[in-house]
Structure 1
């Protein structure tokens, strides 16, 4: 039980930061490309309260984290935040600009992974003390959760960011047909998660990305 409580304490801040920056990035880029919907809703903000969904951001990830610890499993840490409202028709070039709005979330997670890698690097350079190990462990958690969110959201399945990127890149007719999947996207995603297919698809990509970050920053974790 103590290890679970310690794990929650280590993961809490990285999870909140990961979700907050991801959602705020969508709103900020949408604003830059002409859609003020998120700004009017107060969602272009780094205030976590604006983005947290009590069920998707707290309850579901917490249950999955505790379950994985008790079962000694390694499943995908799954969750969601309140979606940032974006009116793609308000973008200056809706189909083209959709790509940048969608890519902003995973891009923010990549930057956050780099930030946590620098935290680990700093911890490695500082003299040994009582707070260094928790700092390094939080950095490791930060890299993990941000890489998971980035890779998961790049899955080419509407309404995930990767699905919207695909719609932006596909020819008009094919894009329209592909976009029709969106109402069933979450059902497909949950089915992939429950059957273990999602983990089989994503874990190799997650491991490869984490390893690339570790090598790039010269970390020893």
Structure 2
């Protein structure tokens, strides 16, 4: 991410990457909380985690390390599997909800970016042609 140590480049990259990272972390954790609530566990909702406010989901250490070491995390959503109507199904769906939400967002934004910035034929051939 920070191959060039020029301050202006680092600042520019942070300004471009930060909104996407915050959005991705927020959607991921919100999806876990939403699915847990939908499956019958109110723990996340009662803890105030069923929100799209990114500040609620950010872990200070995980967020700082994300920008420094390119590895980080958000606060885990609290769940109580005993509250699920079907515990096995609830755990599986709640666990899958975060990554699933990120995949859906990636597809949506990928389509939007593809439509907003069409790739010319030369670039498409250069990208997809085997170079090995």
Cα separation, 1, equivalents of 2:117 and 2:24: 23
Q: Is 1:15 equivalent to 2:21 in the alignment?
A: yes
Instruction: Output aligned runs, 1:84-163, within 5 Å.
Output: 84-124=77-117
Cα separation, 2, equivalents of 1:117 and 1:96: 30
In structure 1, stretches of 5+ residues that fail to align are 65-76, 126-214, 216-221
TM (normalized to structure 1)?
0.49
In structure 2, stretches of 5+ residues that fail to align are 1-5, 119-127
Q: Provide the residue aligned with 1:44 in structure 2.
A: 50
The one-character-per-residue Cα deviations of 1:1-22 (angstroms, maximum 9, x if unpaired) are 2222111111101100000000
The one-character-per-residue Cα deviations of 1:115-149 (angstroms, maximum 9, x if unpaired) are 22133123215xxxxxxxxxxxxxxxxxxxxxxxx
The one-character-per-residue Cα deviations of 1:147-206 (angstroms, maximum 9, x if unpaired) are xxxxxxxxxxxxxxxxxxxxxxxxxxxxxxxxxxxxxxxxxxxxxxxxxxxxxxxxxxxx
Cα separation, 1, equivalents of 2:71 and 2:68: 10
Q: Of the two structures, which has the highest relative contact order with CA contacts closer than 8 Å and spacing of 6 or more?
A: 2
How far is the alpha carbon of 1:89 from its aligned partner? 1.0
Q: Provide the residue aligned with 2:32 in structure 1.
A: 26
Greater helix percent: which structure?
1
CA root-mean-square deviation: 1.7
Stretches of 4+ aligned residues off by more than 4 angstroms:
none
